[in-house]
Structure 1
Amino acid sequence: MRDYKAFVKYSKAGPRYTSYPTAVEFSYKFSYEKYLEILREQTQDLSLYFHLPFCRSACYFCGCNVIYTAKEESKERYLGYIFKELELLKDKTNTQRKVVQMHFGGGTPTFFSAKQLESLILKIKSIFVNFDKEAEISCEIDPRFLNEEQAEVLTRQGFNRISFGVQDFDEKVQKEIHRIQPFELTQNAVKMVRQRGINSVNMDLIYGLPFQSLESFKNTLQKALLINPDRFAIFNYAHVPWLKKNMRKFDETTLPSPDVKLQILEFCEQFLTENGYKMIGMDHFAKPEDELFKALENGTLHRNFQGYTTKGGADLIGVGLTSIGEGQAHYAQNFKDMPSYEKMIDEGHLPFERGVLLSEDDRIRKAVIMDLMANFALDIKKIEDEFKISFKEYFKQDLVALDEYKDFLSLDEKHIKVNETGVLLIRNIAMCFDAYLKNISEDKKVFSKTV
């Protein structure tokens, strides 16, 4: 185990780069009319994201856009607006295009009943009629909210990938984060979908939560391995209490220090590698037979708002409250508040609120940053050929900033390759190529800490 005390100096606020430019740069300058023009002109395959934002109660670590409710009528009303949004999309883009990916995120998608989920899926398929036979169709699931009927609906309707939110199995940590979730409950939820033929199961864990230690997280990983997921997503907790009030409930002195978090991440990599997984990108681990592993090997791994995916190049359309879409040269986000979302749809408009059109510089830097985030390496000649630039000249100032991390990577005329230690600082390394960070004041709280 390395001594990570010296790494504390690298713990600075920075993006996770699920997009570039990041959502901080989304603005109202990107007009609704321009968005409609883009939708009309799109020809790529489709990736669909549906945001189902409701939860029964708050998990204090959660940074998602969530609505807490126990009212059945709230869910029914929301589904009605999702249906209307789908009808609007049918008129404003080519929904005959091949769908290669669909994802239900939350909130808690399985807070909706089996009947509600099936009605939504059938409505989607009536609008987007050309689902690829090999499409990745996935759903995020809180194991506390899954029953046999829901599992049956999801598998019968073609879902083939399930992601279970676990975070931590330690009882003290669970109590502090307001998410009591016994091991046996999670184990049974996974069995429920496995028995119905789901061959791709992901488990989400989070390090950096209150009262976690290296030893406690070792125990969590050992328990998680008994469930035998095909993938792990092991995230660094993003503590942003200025944005999320629920995070203010934590006593910050109980959060593990940056060096302890790095020890946990290093242990995850070693332990999971010893048990047949490989680190994929910044925070994912997959078995060798998994698509993510294969995508890493052949250079087609892609990063977006859902994390790492094998479906790069598809046009992502976000449906529902606060959803984000992505195209070849844009990001587009729906309204975050329900009244505005409903009002736009009632007026016959898509609930688009803001976004960003990518400049040529954005596209170049996005390619560099996303390659680093996905592959821990960059093919410099590929970037030069694609964008007709001299890498050394174009990124002259950025390479000066990169010099701070020279011990964590190798750099020559053809490649940047991040070493095993540098992988732990990949966000910092990618930040060297971010043109927007210099415009953000250091004392302005925008991003979580990188370490």
Structure 2
Amino acid sequence: MNAIPPFDADLLRRYDGPGPRYTSYPTAPQFSSAFGESDFREAAKLSNGDPIPRRLSLYVHVPFCFSPCFYCGCNRVITRDHSRADVYLTRLVREVAMVAPLFDRDRDVVQLHLGGGTPNFLNASQLGEMMESLSRHFHFSSSPKRDFSIELDPRCVGSSDIEALAFLGFNRASLGVQDFDPVVQAAVNRIQSVEETLAVIDACRKHGFRSVNVDLIYGLPAQTAAGFGRTLDTVIAARPDRLAVYSYAHLPQLFRPQKQIDASQLPDPEAKLGLLQLAIEKLSLAGYRYIGMDHFALPDDELSLAQEHDGLHRNFMGYTTHADCDLIGLGVSAISHIGDSYSQNPRDLPAWEAAIDNGRLPVWRGMMLWADDVLRADLIQQLMCRSEIDIAALEARHGIHFATYFEEDLQRLQSLAADGLVTIEATRIRATARGRLLLRIIAACFDRYLHQPRSEPARFSKMI
């Protein structure tokens, strides 16, 4: 299952289009403002009451960036005023102090991820203050297998910063690269040298980081096969443990920075597919395994091993090895997944600040899952992580007859089976080698919200 999937340009072209990436099910557009602070507290209480409470995963969002990257669709604030980090951190510490007591102290934190924005906008002292607050209010696991990761902008981090991060307990790093081609970098306003990037990778290894991930993007303005090929060769030579190769989606109506991009410089669909094919071929020859969606890893990386042993999980942080955790999101826009609930903090900074200042949990929207949601989330999680659906296991866990319950979904799946993307058997549905690059298309066949208005049919019952 870990082999790099074959590239079929015709199929990819036919199924190219917008759609969910299924870092959750239901996806975030289904969240409602009717879900509020009291619902979050109830979800936390219920999760504590499980016979064996799940361990905890923390996500902390740091929104600040020193300069805008025009391709970016993340929730971030552009500023060079470093004092804003202190103000943000003060409120973040207050949020931690409000949220942590809702969860029993004996629930170990086995995963921590800092995302953004640019988390290393916070200096070593500020990061130390944040980690002290988190470790004081939550119980950090002492296991050597715990994952404490941070996203880094190589343009504003040095070897001494990496040493400080290691001292604070971080053992994984993710570096944004996108493309080393100077013409592409100028077009997206991200000038970043090969030398400074490789220096950060070397520093991570020197100071004992267990894993380094590199992010690339294909489909950027002025991008060519020759230039992107050189970027791939440079990155592969550095041998990061993991890579994410994302498709650029040009949506200037949604993301204002993208209005700075000259759309006439974007590669056409054929050229963009060629860039993806190039990435797949080069990574395959270099020995990387395809994990799913846009993610690749070396055979001995923990993602690869987790996939082999059915321990892979997909959530808002992407693919992870910690499937048995409740996820607590902290900071502006952060998303939590507690028991059978999702919740999200306000996406705009003033609203998040106002909630903290008024002593309220900053819950903007969310949802409690229905039995149907839980069932479909289980199915889609299997598909995204294992490239197959174990029909018998789903029937046993959820008390359904699969063929009857999913009659309409299976009808939608027939055209994909005819195109050779899936095989449908009595006991399992499996993505073919050709279908693994289109897992989200297969999963969409089982997404109730894509195919009918939101409702509460009689056969659905709430999970509370």
TM-score category, normalised to shorter length: over 0.9
Question: What amino acid maps onto 2:114 in structure 1?
Answer: F
Q: How does 1:331-346 map to 2 (within 5 A)?
A: 331-346=342-357
1:37 to 42, 47, 53: 42
Q: Aligned partners of 2:189 and 2:106: how far apart in 1? A: 43
Deviations 1:318-349 (A, max 9, x none): 01111001123111101122222122112221
Q: What is the deviation of 1:191? A: 1.3
1:239 to partner: Cα distance: 2.6
Paired with 2:229 and 2:105, the residues of 1 have a C-alpha distance of 46
The answer to whether the 8 Å contact 1:16/1:427 transfers is yes
Q: Find 1:425's aligned residue among 435, 438, 458.
A: 438
Would you say the 8 A contact 1:287–1:293 is kept in 2? yes
1:122-181: CA deviation from partner (whole Å, max 9, x where unpaired): 111111133242210000001011123321221011111111111111111111111011
Question: Structure 1 residue 231 and structure 2 residue 242: aligned?
Answer: yes
CA distance in structure 2 between the aligned counterparts of 1:384 and 1:259, rounded to whole angstroms: 42
Name 1:111's counterpart in structure 2. 121
Q: Which residue of 1 aligns with 2:27?
A: 22
User: SS state of the match for residue 155, structure 2?
Assistant: coil
Q: Which residue of 1 aligns with 2:322?
A: 311
Which residue of structure 1 lines up, in the alignment, with residue 185 of structure 2?
Answer: 174
1:329-387, CA deviations, whole angstroms, 9 ceiling, x for partnerless residues?
A: 11110112222212211222111111111111111111111221222222111111111
Report the equivalent of 1:275: 286
Equivalence map 1:144-223=2 (5 Å)? 144-223=155-234
Amino acid at match of 2:368: L
User: Matched residue pairs, number?
Assistant: 441
Which amino acid in structure 2 is aligned with residue 45 of structure 1? Answer: R
Q: 1:326 to 1:11 in 2, by over 3 A?
A: same
Q: CA deviation at 1:440?
A: 7.6
Question: Which residue, 96, 108, 122 being the options, matches 1:98?
Answer: 108
8 A contact 2:313–2:381 mirrored in 1: yes
CA RMSD of aligned residues (A): 1.8
Contact 1:262–1:424 at 8 Å: present in 2 too?
no
User: How has the CA–CA distance of structure 1 residues 214 and 400 changed in structure 2, closer, same or farther, with 3 Å as cutoff?
Assistant: farther
Once the two structures are TM-superposed, the CA of residue 196 in structure 1 deviates from its matched residue by 0.8
User: Are residues 215 and 429 of structure 1, via their aligned partners in 2, closer, same or farther at CA, if it must alter by over 3 Å?
Assistant: farther
Q: Does residue 347 in structure 1 map to residue 358 in structure 2?
A: yes
Residue of 206, 228, 252 corresponding to 2:263: 252
| Mapped partners of 2:131, 2:335: distance in 1 | 19
Aligned pair 1:436/2:449, yes or no?
yes
- Displacement of 1:439: 4.6
Q: Distance in 2 between matches of 1:399 and 1:262?
A: 29
- Distance (Å, rounded) in 2 between the aligned partners of 1:439 and 1:246: 33
Gap change, CA 1:230 and 1:81, over 3 Å in 2: same
The alignment partner of 2:217 has SS state of strand
Change (3 A) 1:5 1:254: farther
When normalised by structure 2's length, the TM-score is: 0.91
Describe the SS at the equivalent of 2:139: coil
Q: Which of 59, 64, 68 is the aligned partner of 1:58?
A: 68
| 1:237 to partner: Cα distance | 1.6
Aligned residues with identical type, % of pairs: 41
Distance 1:159 1:405, change over 3 A: same
Which residue is 2:391 aligned to?
A: 380
1:117·1:153 contact (CA, 8 Å) conserved in 2? no
User: Counterpart of 1:352 in 2: which secondary structure?
Assistant: coil
Q: What code does the residue aligned with 2:185 have?
A: Q
Give the letter aligned to residue 423 of structure 1. Answer: R
**How far 1:411 moved relative to its partner?**
1.1
Q: CA deviation at 1:5?
A: 4.5
Query: Taking structure 1 as the reference length, what is the TM-score of the superposition?
Result: 0.94
- For structure 1, the residue ranges without an aligned partner over 5 or more in a row are 442-451
Please tell me whether residue 363 in structure 1 is matched to residue 399 in structure 2. no
Partner of 1:68: 78
Cα distance in 1 between the residues matched to 2:435 and 2:168? 42
2:97 corresponding residue in structure 1: 87
Task: Provide the residue aligned with 1:123 in structure 2.
Answer: 133
What secondary structure, in the 3-state scheme, does the structure 2 residue paired with 1:326 have? strand
> Does the Cα contact within 8 Å between 2:59 and 2:327 map onto a contact in 1?
yes
Amino acid aligned to 1:437: L
Deviation at 1:277, TM superposition (A): 1.3
Preserved contact between residue 46 and residue 339 of structure 2 (Cα < 8 Å):
no
Q: CA deviation at 1:199?
A: 2.7
Change (3 A) 1:352 1:194: same
**2:50 match:** none
Tell me if structure 2 keeps the 8 A contact 1:295–1:301: yes
Whole-angstrom CA distance in 2 between matches of 1:94 and 1:396: 42
Quick check: 1:415 aligned with 2:428? Answer: yes
Larger mean CA deviation between 222-231 and 265-274 belongs to 265-274
Q: Quick one: distance in 1 between partners of 2:90 and 2:63?
A: 14
Deviation at 1:209, TM superposition (A): 1.3
CA contact 1:5–1:259 (8 Å) conserved in 2: no
Give the secondary-structure state (helix, strand or coil) at the position aligned to 1:248. helix
CA distance in 1 between counterparts of 2:110 and 2:7 reads 42
Q: Which moved more, 1:253-262 or 1:122-131?
A: 253-262
